[in-house]
Amino acid sequence: MSQPTLSTSLSLADGSRRLSQSSPSLHTYLDKRVIKSQRETKRTRSQRARERLQTKEHLTRLAVGLYEVELADKLERCHSRLSVLTCGRHIARIIPNFTCEFRLCPDCSRRRSRKLQNKYLPAMSAFMLHRRVTPVHLVLTQTHRKENRKQSAKRIKDSFTKLQRRGFWKEHFKGGTWSLEFTKDRNGLHHTHLHIIGFRRRFFDIELLRGEWLAATGDSHVLNLKPIKDIAAGLQEVVKYVSKPLDIRRFGAEDLKEFLGLKNMRMFGTFGEFRDFCKDFEPSDNDGDEVTDLESLNRDLVEGCACPKCNEPLFDLRMSGKELPQFYEQVESSPPGEVRKSSH
Ligand SMILES: [Zn+2]
Ligand SMILES: [Zn+2]
């Protein structure tokens, strides 16, 4: 595979974050899904905004087809009018008129995953510092069976509980987070994966872990493990599966119906020692509290404030949600100071 691996590196010294290209090594986790999501991060903001709109339109059509009138109406209103605080070159803050909070809504799930990151990143940094553990991204898979999404999720979560009770696991891990990812193959079989950020106490032979997973599942030894160099990027990667549990654009009415039946299923959680740590954790000045998104840093900004990136004054641009991709495009392609209020 020639797909380059995009890894983000975090410089703890100055808190700045850079994107760096590194060539794939033999040990790089080359699972197709990860490659796909890496490609996604390379798309421009305008492309992503356009795709969010398309996803929403698709979901709305499905909801209408299922006579889920209230859901369709909420989706249509969500982010339909925006107040965009911009200097013309940067977008500092986007305030929507309404948020639907539907789990599959791409705008709302984006906000939810940002919240998860803001909540857990400081705790993770502190935990690593105090407990001297290193984070790894572990993907656990299971064999495919004819079962529905709920059964498939329960089966893999139960197996993971068994794994955690085993001596090997306790000896090598100090807890972490889990998130569920669902995919469906051409034959309609559910593939459910667990993405774990595990805090590793010491190295071990991966084959031993495969054996442990086989013992827990009874029939699957398939897993992937890669070290996480940058905990912010690692967390961002796993919460992505929470915000985007499946490829919604390939979603049919039946899928939506089934998903609506899952209302209360948890998609993300903490476990083990890290779980207990989070209960008592209060971030202090010494613990890194990197916020991964500019927009969430800018909650207090109003019109007239200086743009955090260039110090130019911010103005408030009103637009419909449908106009946002085009505005991103303008911002992306404009040299300093080009986009003005007249661009509306
Ligand atoms: Zn929404
Ligand atoms: Zn600016």
Structure confidence by residue, pLDDT tens digits, 130-140: 999 999 999 99
pLDDT at 166: 96
Specify the DSSP element, H or E, that contains 206. helix 206-217
Centre of ligand 2 from the C-alpha of residue 109, in Å: 26
The closest of 338, 241, 307, 235 to 84, measured between CA atoms, is: 307
Residues in the chain, pLDDT under 70: 1-41, 243-246, 283-298, 335-344
Residues with CB under 5 A from ligand 1 (ion): 78, 100, 105, 107-108
Identify which ligand lies nearest to the alpha carbon of 92. Answer: 2
pLDDT confidence of residue 163: 97
Question: Is 34 within 8 Å of 224 (Cβ atoms)?
Answer: no
Residue with tokens 């990667």: 237
Residue 88 Cα to ligand 2 middle (Å): 7
> In the structure encoding, which two tokens stand for residue 289, read together?
């509290």
User: What ligand has the least distance to the C-alpha of 108?
Assistant: 1
Report pLDDT for 283.
Answer: 64
Distance from residue 43's CA to the centre of ligand 2 (Å): 21
pLDDT at 298: 67
Q: Which residues make Cβ contacts (< 8 Å) with residue 36, sequence separation at least 6?
A: none
Q: Pick the ligand that lies closest to the CA of residue 85.
A: 2
**For residues 59 and 105, what is the distance between their CA atoms, to the nearest angstrom?**
8
Dist. CA 104 → ligand 1 center (Å): 8
Rounded (to 5) percent helix, strand, coil in the chain = 45, 20, 35
Closest ligand (CA of 339):
2
Q: Which residues of 104-143 are buried (b: 16+ CB within 10 A; e: fewer)?
A: bbbbbbbbbbbebbbebbbbbbbbbeeeebebbbbbbbbe
User: What is the distance in A from the centroid of ligand 2 to the CA of 114?
Assistant: 22
CA–centroid distance, 310 to ligand 2, in Å, is: 4
Ligand closest in space to the Cα of 98 = 1
Ligand showing the shortest atom-to-Cα distance for residue 100: 1
Q: How many angstroms is it from 105 CA to the middle of ligand 2? A: 29
Cα–ligand 2 centroid distance for 125 (angstroms): 30
Residue 186 neighbours by CB distance under 10 Å: 5
Three-state DSSP class for 178?
strand
Which value, in Å, is the radius of gyration of the alpha carbons in the chain? 21
Summarised one tens digit per residue, pLDDT across range 9-26 is 322 333 333 333 333 333
pLDDT at 2: 39
Contacts (Cβ under 8 Å, ≥6 apart) of 112: 103, 242, 243
Q: Are the C-beta atoms of 43 and 49 separated by less than 8 Å?
A: no
User: What single DSSP character describes residue 219?
Assistant: S
**What's the N-to-C CA distance of the chain in angstroms?**
44
| CA of 230 relative to ligand 1 center, distance in Å | 30
CB proximity list for 224: less than 8 A, separation 6 or greater:
29, 31, 137, 138, 139
Inter-residue long-range contacts of 301-304, CB under 8 Å, 24+ positions, other chains counted: 301/85, 301/92, 301/93, 302/85, 303/85
Ligand nearest to the CA of 91: 2
In this prediction, residue 287 carries a pLDDT of: 42
pLDDT digits (tens, 9 = 90+) for 89-98: 899 889 999 9
CB 116 within 8 A of CB 242: yes
Ligand nearest to the CA of 305: 2
Ligand showing the shortest atom-to-Cα distance for residue 314: 2
| Residue found by looking up tokens 């779980």 in the block | 275
Residue 259: its pLDDT value, please?
84
pLDDT (0 to 100) of residue 185: 76
Alpha carbon of 246 to ligand 1 centroid (Å): 16
- Beta pairing partners, 85: 93, 316
Using alpha carbons only, what angle is made at residue 330 by residues 329 and 332, rounded to the nearest 5 degrees? 65
